[in-house]
Structure 1
Amino acid sequence: MVQESTDPVTFPALLMHHAQARGPRPAIREKDLGIWQTLTWAQVAAEVRRVAAGLADLGVAAGEHVAVVGENRPRLYMAMMAAQCLGAIPVPLYQDAVADEMTFVLQDAQVGVVVVEDQEQLDKMLEVSDRCPALRALVFDDPRGLRHYDDPRLLSWGALLARGDERTRRQPDEVDARMAAIRSEDTAAMFYTSGTTGKPKGVVLSHLALIDRARVIERFEGLTDREDVLAYLPPAWIGQNMFSYTQFLTTGFTVNHPESPDTVSIDMRDIGPTYYFAPPRVLEDLLTRVMIRMEDAGRVKRWLFDRAMRLARRVGTRILDADGTVGVWDRCKYALGNALVYGPLRNTLGMSRVRVAYTAGEAIGPDLFVFYRSIGINLKQLYGSTETSVFVCVQANGQVRDDTVGPPCDGVEIRVAANGEIQLRSPGLFTGYYQNPEATEASYTDDGWYHTGDAGYLDADGQLKIIDRAKDVGRLADDSLFAPKYIENKLKFFPFIKEVVAFGADRPEVCAFINIDLEAVGNWAERRGLPYAGYTDLASKDEVYALIRDCVEQVNRDLAQDPKMAASQVVRFLILHKELDPDDDELTRTRKVRRAFIAQKYGVLVDALFAGLSSQYIETEVKFEDGRIGRIAADLRIESAAVAKPEPLKKVA
């Protein structure tokens, strides 16, 4: 006879389980005024009950959407838990979104109650409230700057708790009764897609889908309640939400909230997370800072770093994978490098205690991936999306490769369609898009497989290889493969390059837009006594163009060694006069390139690149942080890059 599992199957049940089983253990830490404050599981559960009662007093009903806006703050996490305790549905919003972007979500989800972090987010809500008539209550965490606000809908966190206490006195069993009524198949949360095309869609996920995927990875990685996680990415992103909320409540480990986005690197060194998650852009930024510091180091330190990194690239990943082919002498040299270079570098990055690190969100460049693994950080790729509750494929220890995202996780089935698209079935799949049955139906094949929209294939070892987004993969005019993300990631490995957009589909060659990294190139310029007045001026310098051309030509030499990609070498490029920005709709809030929008917005530049022009004038509209609209004009220089000869195919004897 099979015994049924007694594991909690909803988020409220998980919270109460941890409060009982791990009551005095740390659940949440927050750094405030330089001091780490700790909340135990018992304290979190008690406060969540009070908040839930307060929300009930505001009329929050089962199935109603409660929006949450702000950075990673414990009270915002507890607001999400409290909403779930009532059978309501938390809808986290991106804190850096402008007010107009939030309007669509508030209207679409018919949000009546919003919990915000501070004055900045509250001002956005008040700005759009006349367009969102359903808004009836605005709860705020941080009261600074709000003394003279007198809108009757405003409610401080303390006032919400007081209402909850009063509600509990009147109806002491209400919250428990509503928690008991929640089923595993009920909606647990709704996340709005970042919308690379068209309006964002509300992705509806159940308790069952999210918790199932979290438990699969808990078993796969041997996660325990002793893990430390740093919550520093937008809570509205499903990746951060899975690692610092779903897995936090499933496994019962400790989540740490940094003091502010500006102190993340310091706070990470304080905590020393054991389980870490970062999208490629964060890993790129960390590497850029390392390279800047090494540029400023003395000659001996630079020599030692270069020698150590050459050794790490040769044997580091094999040592991490416990590969027995590494010789004793190389192991001894690597151990010395670990004492002098790799260990201090991991400590500088705050990764000394990392046992498992994941990267996801978009494809990571192989050079960047190998760098982290070569210095002893167990960085692995995973594959998934909002609609799949994140975890579709994960790399196993000892089987990590830079060109795959691992085999399917437990419970996931994958097939590759005739057009190369990856399709799947999984217990973690979403319930549907909110109030959008047409889009929900279109996301599945006729026989019930989910369209991922990604192109790739399963290799001989059963590991999934992602080539690019299916809609972005194309062919050059000579029918050679063109995978723009692959080229872009290679270029973004260089610390001087922040963003790249490659063009070439149905064209005779490949051309690219490049954004320089202002910090890295600015540091490089200052050390050479090169004056500049901001991004646009620096990007136009002859010396900077020469620097970027060298990076492009290094990538071209690398591409020439790959028979499939040799034809995709970058022939011409330009350095954009402004940084691509989510506020200008050029990137999503998770900083994915809106390729089609950029091609249309900068069509005159694309045409100039492929026409072989040496320069092109352009005026660009930009949005400032205060909502004002301005224009930036520049005469952009177009540079040619040397194309390397493809490697001849080796004959088999």
Structure 2
Amino acid sequence: MAREVAGRDTFAKLLFDQAALRGDASAIREKRRGIWGNITFRMLSDEAAHLSLALAERGIARGERVAVIGDNRPRLFGAIAATHALGGVAVPLYPDSSAEEVAGQLRAARVSAVFAEDQEQVDKVLDILPNCPGVRLVVYDDDRGMRHYVHPGLADHGHLIDEGQALAAKAPDAYRQAVAAGQGSDEAFVFFTSGASGAPKGVVFTHAALIGRTRAAVQAQGLTASDTTLAFFPPGWLCQTMFSYMSSMVAGLCICCPESLETLIDDMREIAPTSLLTTPRMLDAIFSRISTRMEETGGINLVLYRRALALAQRVGRQRMEGYAPGAVNRFGMAAYGALIYAPLRDILGMSRLRSACSTGDTLDPAMQGFFQTLGIDLRQVYGATETAFFVAMQRHGDEGRGTVGKPLDDIAVRISDRGEIEVRSDGLMAGYLDDPSAMAAVRSADGWLRTGDAGILEPDGNLRLVDRMDAIGRLADGTVFAPRMLESRIRFSPHIRDAVVVGDGRDGICALVDIDTLAVGRWADDHAIAYMGHADLASQDEVYGLVADWIAEVNAGLARDPATAALQIRRFALVPEELGTENGFLTPTGKVRRHAVTERFAALIEGLYAGQSEVMLETAAVEEGHHGPVALKIREASVVGVPGSRRAA
């Protein structure tokens, strides 16, 4: 690591020293209008200095909270740096949050100023401003569509920097003095939890806690100042901010901001990052895109790809079961490595990837095995917002075993009598926003934090994540099941975007399946199946047959293990609307809000267990052109070991 500034105890001091030690090195690269721009550490430090002086001049004082809302952009990182230089607390928010959610979070955090990325975010903030009396200043970056906006509390980011530059000329030591006044025990960030199991909570962290966890994360991945990371997920997610901004401050690595979701793969191919934070959902999407493209290619390439994929899955299962691949399989892996795996890595922009970490949900071993076979060092990381992530991480040899790896050296982990994972470290949250009772409910007197996750600590020290404590179900016969494990297996199909399994208190497992509209749509086109939109596509008998074939494979895999044989999917239905953040079914980080899904499709779930072949459901809000109740089909799945079980048609 290039002269890590380990003695510095705030992020502002870290940036100050990075600018002094390696000022001309790239801190941030951003692609806009097809061109990559470059921000050096010296430029970022200068922007933080000028912006912090302008904020102070406008009445934002040490200790006040400043929100940033938008995607990863250099100026939003600059706003975070300026907030810390001022001695303030940064509050990153999710850009796709509703106005009501943003208003509640601004009030809860008692925010004084907001940095908004563009017109969309500014409009959202201005609309709720009457309900957020504490907000005195709104700063915007992208001025497209805003030239005629007039509001007493509205300011242009560039103009603020100009104001700060003039102030710096009058008081050249003001920035240095403000930075020096900060301490590691000061509040640094407030992050809001994803809200998968309830209302989002504001979580407060000090500089010392987050710098310590970031150092542990950087060391575990072996990152240095020569590394490049991709910042794709919103900065409102603590894990993304740790992998990008915080890691840049600690290790000096370069953050790359892609232009958009649509250009993500192309942008990755151009920058070829060496470090990547991902989630199972993002990996599912990449796998689906690969499979769809190969299906379109056809010919010998498709034949080779299918054989390479089958070999990868076979080797992955062997490794998961503790067996080393035989000579024939090793030869096949080497051959396909040259013909298939290496070109795929290049197409995906992963040719230089040294560290790829998946977190946010359970990573299916088969999916991990697929990317490992491509030659990508994909490892699972476990943590929670309250623990500042990086509680446990897979080491070499742990991949494919279904665990999340061993706890890091500076973390203590234990399993409570209830089977809940408990954590103790110096990097835990300082508390919840103005809610001492909530903090007392999750933290013991001797410092152990209850995570809300069920897990198993194996004899070799590996941690096995089961599911959320409140998500674990029990069949009517007493069989315990974890929905997350089953859902990750179902999602491995390139044609399935998501799945929610149910069965608590019932006599078997049933599934609600959300198809991937793009992948299934292409499949339907190839098979001359006419459809109009997602709801119509999800109602086609042929699509039910496609999904049934995959669930039959999932059930066959479950049947091979006596511990999971009873958890085979008995019946399933395709939901008529996509599960997304805009309709409240997913959190901003892509986790399923299980309660929202089961409440919306309660009638469909009852029909699954009542033996019905279809259920009438109101779909007026699902898709344009569909009004009033429609019939949703229910089909049985092929269950191994159950005589007379029927396969969906």
Within 2, Cα distance between the matches of 1:623 and 1:65?
39
2:512 is aligned with 1:516: no
Contact (CA 8 Å) 1:566, 1:646: kept in 2 or not? no
The CA distance in 2 between the partners of 1:632 and 1:179, in whole Å, is 61
Q: How many residues align?
A: 637
| C-alpha contact (below 8 Å) 1:618/1:634 kept by paired residues | yes
Structure 1 residue 317, shift from structure 2 partner: 9.6
Instruction: Kindly provide the amino acid, as one letter, of the partner of residue 465 in structure 1.
Output: R
Q: Percent identity?
A: 41
Q: Please identify, of 103-112 and 271-280, the stretch whose mean Cα deviation from structure 2 is larger.
A: 103-112
Contact 2:404 2:465 in 1 (8 A): yes
**CA positional deviation for 1:174:** 2.6
Tell me what 1:98 maps to: 98
Shift of 1:583: 2.6
* Superposed displacement of residue 318, structure 1: 9.0
* Cα distance change, pair 6–99 in 1 and its aligned pair in 2 (3 A): closer
d(CA) in 1 for partners of 2:399, 2:326? 20
TM-score (norm 1): 0.94
**Amino acid corresponding to residue 204 of structure 1 in structure 2:** V
2:382 aligns with 383
Shift of residue 526, structure 1, vs aligned partner? 0.7
- Conservation of the 8 A alpha-carbon contact between 1:617 and 1:634: yes
The separation in 2 between residues aligned to 1:6 and 1:298, in whole angstroms, is 54
CA 1:635–1:464: 2 relative to 1, 3 Å: same
Q: Indicate whether 1:86 and 2:86 are aligned.
A: yes
Matched with 1:485 is 484
Alignment of 1:242-253 (within 5 A): 242-253=242-253
CA contact under 8 A between 1:316 and 1:375: conserved in structure 2?
A: no
Alignment-mate amino acid for residue 498 of structure 1: R
Q: Hey, what's the Cα distance between the residues in 2 that align with 1:643 and 1:608?
A: 19
Q: Which amino acid aligns with 2:423?
A: L
Q: For the Cα contact (< 8 Å) 1:317–1:376, is it kept in 2?
A: no
Displacement, 1:309? 2.5
Alignment partner of 2:641 out of 628, 633, 645: 645
Question: CA–CA distance in 1 between the matches of 2:217 and 2:445?
Answer: 30
Q: CA shift at 1:324, angstroms? A: 11
| 1:290-329 equivalent positions in 2, closer than 5 A | 290-315=290-315
Q: Partner of 1:188: helix, strand, or coil?
A: strand
8 A Cα contact 1:457 1:465, kept in partner = yes
SS of equivalent residue, structure 2 residue 263: helix
The yes-or-no answer on 1:595 pairing with 2:594 is yes
Aligned to 2:282: 282
**2:630 is aligned with 1:634:** yes
Which string of whole-angstrom CA distances, capped at 9 and with x for unpartnered residues, describes residues 151-187 of structure 1? 1221111111122123324443332222111111111
1:226 is displaced (CA, Å) by: 0.3
| Counterpart in the other structure of 1:131 | 131
Q: Which amino acid aligns with 1:584?
A: N
Q: Does 1:153 align with 2:153?
A: yes
Contact map agreement 2:259 2:267 (CA 8 A) in 1: yes
CA contact 1:481–1:565 (8 Å) conserved in 2 = no
Change in CA separation of 1:363 and 1:177 when aligned onto 2, cut-off 3 Å: same
Distance 1:359 1:595, change over 3 A: same
Per-residue CA distance 1:119-157 (angstroms, 9 max, x = gap): 111110111111112222111111111111111221111
Answer whether contact 2:535 2:622 (CA < 8 A) is retained.
no
2: distance between equivalents of 1:136 and 1:521? 49
Q: Does 2:111 match 1:111? A: yes
Query: In structure 2, how many angstroms separate the alpha carbons of the residues matched to 1:508 and 1:55?
Result: 61
**Is the contact between residue 457 and residue 464 of structure 1 (CA under 8 Å) also seen in structure 2?**
yes
Higher alpha-carbon deviation: 516-525 or 212-221? 212-221
Structure 2 counterparts to residues 135-284 of structure 1, below 5 A = 135-284=135-284
Deviates more, 1:375-384 or 1:416-425: 416-425
CA contact (8 A) 1:621 1:632 kept: yes
Cα RMSD (Å)? 2.2
State the one-letter code of the partner of 1:570: I
Which stretch of the first structure deviates more once superposed, 517-526 or 93-102?
93-102
| Preserved CA contact (<8 Å) 1:86 1:178 | yes
CA contact (8 A) 2:364 2:402 kept: no
1:561 counterpart = 2:560: yes
Name the structure 1 match of 2:647: none
Q: CA deviation at 1:389?
A: 0.9
Offset of residue 568 of structure 1: 1.2
Measure the CA separation in 2 of the matches of 1:586 and 1:336.
43
User: In 1, distance between residues paired with 2:324 and 2:580?
Assistant: 46
Find the aligned partners of 2:610 and 2:519 in 1 and give their Cα distance.
31
AA aligned opposite 1:436: D
Report matched runs for 1:2-17 at 5 Å.
Answer: 7-17=7-17
Quote the Cα distance in structure 2 between the aligned partners of 1:547 and 1:463: 37
Shift of 1:358: 0.4
CA distance in 2, matches of 1:324, 1:261: 39
Go from structure 1 to structure 2 and tell me whether the alpha carbon gap of 1:103 and 1:632 turns closer, same or farther (over 3 Å shift).
farther
Q: Secondary structure at the match of 1:112?
A: strand
Matched residues in 1 for 2:622 and 2:492: separation? 29
For structure 2, the residue ranges without an aligned partner over 5 or more in a row are 644-649
Q: Residue 518 of structure 1 aligns to which amino acid in structure 2? A: T
Q: Is the 8 A contact 2:316 2:365 kept in 1?
A: no
**Counterpart amino acid of 2:537?**
L
The secondary structure found in structure 1 opposite 2:406 is coil
The one-letter code sitting in structure 1 at the alignment partner of 2:207 is: H
2:372 is aligned with what amino acid? R
Contact preservation (8 Å) 2:381, 2:391 = yes
Structure 1 position 424, deviation (Å): 1.2
Task: Measure the CA separation in 2 of the matches of 1:149 and 1:339.
Answer: 57
Q: Is the Cα contact below 8 Å between 2:577 and 2:622 reproduced in 1?
A: no
Q: Tell me the residue number matched to 1:540.
A: 539
Q: 1:79 Cα deviation (Å)?
A: 0.4
- Aligned to 1:453, the other structure's residue is in SS state strand
What are the equivalent positions in structure 2 for 1:429-448 lying under 5 Å apart? 429-448=428-447
Secondary structure (helix, strand or coil) at the match of 1:353 reads coil
Distance 2:426 2:540 in 1: 53
- Alignment check: 8 A CA contact 1:57 1:163 kept: no
Deviation track 1:584-639 (CA, whole Å, cap 9, x = no partner) reads 22221112111123222322121111111111111157499xxx9x9764211111
The farther-off stretch of 444-453 and 58-67 is 444-453
Asked if 1:335 is matched to 2:338, the reply is no
Deviation, structure 1 residue 236: 0.5
The answer to whether the 8 Å contact 1:510/1:572 transfers is: yes
Whole-angstrom distance in 2 between the partners of 1:532 and 1:153: 50
Return the alpha-carbon distance in structure 2 between the equivalents of residues 308 and 199 of structure 1: 44
2:64 pairs with 1:64: yes
What is the one-letter code of the residue matched to 2:412? E
Is the aligned partner of 1:426 residue 2:422? no
Distance in 1, matches of 2:318 and 2:570, equals: 35
CA distance in 1, matches of 2:68, 2:530: 44
Rounded Cα–Cα distance in structure 2 between residues aligned with 1:212 and 1:362: 24
Structure 1 residues 316, 351: CA separation in 2 closer, same or farther (over 3 Å shift)? farther
Contact 2:214 2:247 (C-alpha < 8 Å) held by counterparts: yes
Q: Secondary structure at the match of 1:376?
A: coil
Cα deviations by residue, 1:535-554 (Å, 9 ceiling, x for unpaired): 00000001011111111111
Letter in 2 for 1:69: I
Partner of 2:457: 458
Whole-angstrom CA distance in 1 between matches of 2:146 and 2:312: 53
Change (3 A) 1:552 1:240: same
TM-score by length of 2: 0.94
Match of 1:650? none
Contact 1:230 1:255 in 2 (8 A): yes
User: Which residue does 1:574 correspond to in 2?
Assistant: 573
Q: CA deviation at 1:404?
A: 0.5
How far residue 190 of structure 1 moved from its aligned partner, in angstroms, is 0.6
Distance 2:365 2:493 in 1: 12
Residue 348 of structure 1 deviates from its aligned partner by: 1.2
For residue 646 of structure 2, what is the aligned residue in structure 1?
Answer: none
Unaligned runs of 5+ residues in structure 1 are 648-653
